[in-house]
Amino acid sequence: MTNARILIVEDEAITVSALKRELASLGYQVAATASTADEALNAVELHKPDLVLMDITLAGTVNGIVAAVAVRGNYHVPVVFLTAHADDGTMERAVAAGAFGYVLKPFSGPGLKAAIETALHKYQTEIESRRRSNRAA
């Protein structure tokens, strides 16, 4: 799903700039950027992105995993983690938070695209399956 609108939640300005360009070159639109969990929630509400690309370590006191739970719970937007954390514990917590995928830093263009496309596809499948079960009920 090219042209998808993506919210970048990342507290490193240089990484945000690189991400914007990388996403644009991959055919996505950057809906907005945020550096804290609060900003992320506001941006999701305001810009209604198709996907959130979320760093785990954010500025402020609340981390990206907690923010992802709130995004998933309140706005039902798929979240892909972009993180330098690669340990099993973090991955388990990311999965528990409802992550649709993750990209390890430093990211590569193909890796980023694969994770985003997989997440969007998985999300679409999830929605359709929910619709079918609603109709059946």
Partner 1 sequence: MRTKLLSNSDFFITPFRFGSSAWEQTLAPIHRTLELLGRMSHTAATILSVILVAVIAWFDYITGDFSLALFYLVPVVLATWNAGPVSGWFIGVLSAAGWLVGDSALSHAYGHPLMPYWNAAMLALIYGIVAQLLSTLRRLQAELQERVERRTAWLAEVHHRVKNNLQIISSLLMLQAEKLSNAADKAVFDECRDRIYSMARLHEQLYSNGESSDLDFAAHLREMAEMLVRSHTPKGCNLALDVHANPVAVDLDTAVTLGLIANELLLNALKHGFNGRPAGKVTVELYEGNRNQMTVRDDGYGLPPGFDARKNAGLGLELILGMTRQIGGEAKIENDPAGGTRTTIFFPSPTFGNSENTTPTQTDLP
Listed residue (126, 123, 54) closest to 93, CA to CA: 54
Applying the rule CB under 8 A, the residues between 112 and 131 that interact with partner 1 are none
Specify the stretch interacting with partner 1 by CB under 8 A; choose among 27-35, 106-114, 118-126, 127-135. 106-114
Work out the end-to-end distance of the chain between its first and last CA atoms, rounded to an integer number of angstroms. Answer: 30
Applying the rule CB under 8 A, the residues between 57 and 96 that interact with partner 1 are 57, 61-63, 65-67, 69-70, 73-74, 84-89, 93, 96
Q: Which is nearer to partner 1, 51 or 103 (CB)?
A: 103
Q: Which is nearer to partner 1, 40 or 119 (CB)?
A: 40
Min separation Cβ 27 and partner 1, Å? 15
**CB 75 within 8 Å of CB 51:** no
Listed residue (99, 98, 9) closest to 59, CA to CA: 9
- Number of residues assigned to the chain: 137
SS3 content of the chain, % helix, strand, coil (to 5): 55, 20, 25
> Where on the chain is the footprint of partner 1 (CB under 8 A)?
12, 14-15, 17-19, 21-22, 37-38, 41, 45, 57, 61-63, 65-67, 69-70, 73-74, 84-89, 93, 96-97, 104-111
